[in-house]
Amino acid sequence: MQAHPHKAVRSRVTLAGHPVHPMLVPFPIAFLVGVLVTDLIFLGTGNAYWAQSSVYLALAGLVTGVAAAMVGFTDFVTLPQVRSHRMAWIHFIGNALVLLLALARTLYSWDAPTETVRGTGLVLSAAMTALLLLTGWAGGELAYRHKIGVIEDDT
């Protein structure tokens, strides 16, 4: 059962009438993609600064991702029109996996950032980036195709 494609579904969590979720998601996306970037820079330079930066970026992505997820989860559980879309489930489950990977990446690398980038650390950061591409696409489908969280002109 899909919502009518031309009927907007307002977000439950707004600030001055604007949905909060799209205000928050750029932060975890930037931080978590940044983990892969700093991992690659470390592998290219051997400079420990970049390995340590990866750990802090993973932590920042985790914290901001939890904030964005709480807002998105509110819409997911309170709006049946959201849950009726397959893309919402892909977005929800995929981003939950991203947060688990960010937690794993942070804990795995916390004590020895330079030793953990090669192998598992790099795999975790690449997996986060790949999943974010998928979940970002799914989120875009929800907003732009299905008008989830869109403010329609009331006139």
> Tell me: the pLDDT tens digits for 93-111?
999 999 999 999 999 999 9
Q: In this structure, what token pair is assigned to residue 116?
A: 């953990």
Mean pLDDT (the chain, rounded): 93
What pLDDT is recorded for position 152? 78
Q: Can you say whether residue 92 is alpha, beta or left, with left for phi > 0 and alpha for psi between -120 and 50 degrees? A: alpha
Angle formed by the axes of helices 122-140 and 86-109, nearest 10°: 160
Q: In this structure, what token pair is assigned to residue 123?
A: 């795999």
What pLDDT is recorded for position 69? 97
**20 close to 11: Cβ distance less than 8 angstroms:** yes
Measured on CA atoms in the order 9, 13, 18, 21, is the torsion positive or negative?
negative
What pLDDT is recorded for position 1? 47
pTM for the whole structure:
0.91
Q: Which amino acid is at 125?
A: S
Q: In this structure, what token pair is assigned to residue 86?
A: 């397959």
Q: In this structure, what token pair is assigned to residue 145?
A: 């195709």
Q: Which amino acid is at 20?
A: V
Q: In this structure, what token pair is assigned to residue 99?
A: 């947060």
Angle formed by the axes of helices 26-45 and 48-78, nearest 10°: 160
Q: What is the dihedral of CA 50, 137, 84, 23, to 10 degrees?
A: 60
Asked whether residue 17 carries a pLDDT value surpassing 80, the answer given is: yes
